[in-house]
Amino acid sequence: MSATPGNAIDRTLSVAPMLDWTDRYCRYFLRQITRKTLLYTEMVTTGALLHAEPARFLDFNAAEHPLALQLGGNVPDELATCARLADDWGYDEVNLNVGCPSDRVQSGRFGACLMAEPGLVGDCVAAMRGVTNRPVTVKHRIGIDERDSYDQLVHFVDTVATAGCRVFIVHARKAWLQGLSPKQNREIPPLQYAAVHRLKADLPQLSIVINGGFKTLAQVERQLAAVDGVMIGREAYQNPWLLADADHRLFGATATTRDRAEVVERMLPFVERALADGVPLHRISRHMLGLFQGQPGARRWRRTLSEHAHRPGSVAQLLRDALPEPV
């Protein structure tokens, strides 16, 4: 399905915001595999940006574009201030988290629990749109607890759309706010793709991106018949090479990466610069562990990086020595 008119960012494929995973080092690594896939930051709370040094959370490498900043919060004025910061730093999109079910997020009254307050989410969106020309998008569930009917989902989306949101990234599972951990909330509530497909059919003027359980580009292609885009989460992190054919297969662009060893070579200058700035190697190499997932030598690659990333010596030699032997 073609992107909704006026939607400047190509959302055909994106990698989900994942706490402790999609930091700037992970994103730079993924960008060596795919140039077109939309990337998201980890969720950054408004408190972190307003009460700490923003650069710590917002700095990124220009090669990471297209890149979206995901915010967690529920106070319209605070979110507006953070949206201005996103403008200042040059992010391509500002996204509001209305999907995280963790106890910590709930205690701050944001994340998935905001699905019970569509008017407040609309106020937050309106406040952010008032200070930025970047797209302001919302990532949410299909429902929470007993508020999980299709009519309630449409009411939520309709209300937020009235405030100016044109892009909704829908995790096709409901969330139980009590009794399930965040991990269980990613696995136990059943996936309901049909609800997201129906949402797009009923609200064709909106851009609808589906998220939840996708592991292959073939699955992505099938979904694109019904929605505007697909977001992949943990599979893109644990098996990043699945993105290698995305630029050509999904975006119609020329593939720029021939093999995994080329990705490692491309990472070397970036790694050396980061180390010179005092960044420990393991903060970068931990994101690269899945590069050879499913390939001969994958275990040796993971073990070498895990066991030797803390040791002094030549980083280039370490990474090259860890490469599996060509088959």
User: What is the set of active-site residues?
Assistant: 100
For 184-253, the DSSP string reads HHTTSSPP-HHHHHHHHHH-TTSEEEEESS--SHHHHHHHTTTSSEEEE-HHHHHSGGGGTTHHHHHH-P
- Cα gap 88→79, rounded to integer Å: 14
Tokens of 101: 């079910």
Q: Are 105 and 111 in contact (CB under 8 A)?
A: yes
Burial environment of residue 6 by CB neighbours within 10 A (0 to 12, 13 to 18, 19 or more)? exposed
How far apart are the two ends of the chain, measured CA to CA in Å? 39
- Cα gap 317→184, rounded to integer Å: 40
Q: Are 74 and 114 in contact (CB under 8 A)?
A: yes
Cα 59 to chain centroid distance, Å, stands at 16
Element (H, E) at 38: strand 38-45
- Cα gap 67→9, rounded to integer Å: 10
Q: Are 310 and 283 in contact (CB under 8 A)?
A: no
Residue 43 DSSP one-character state: E
Q: Are 4 and 228 in contact (CB under 8 A)?
A: yes
Tokens of 13: 């494929």
Q: Which amino acid is at 126?
A: A
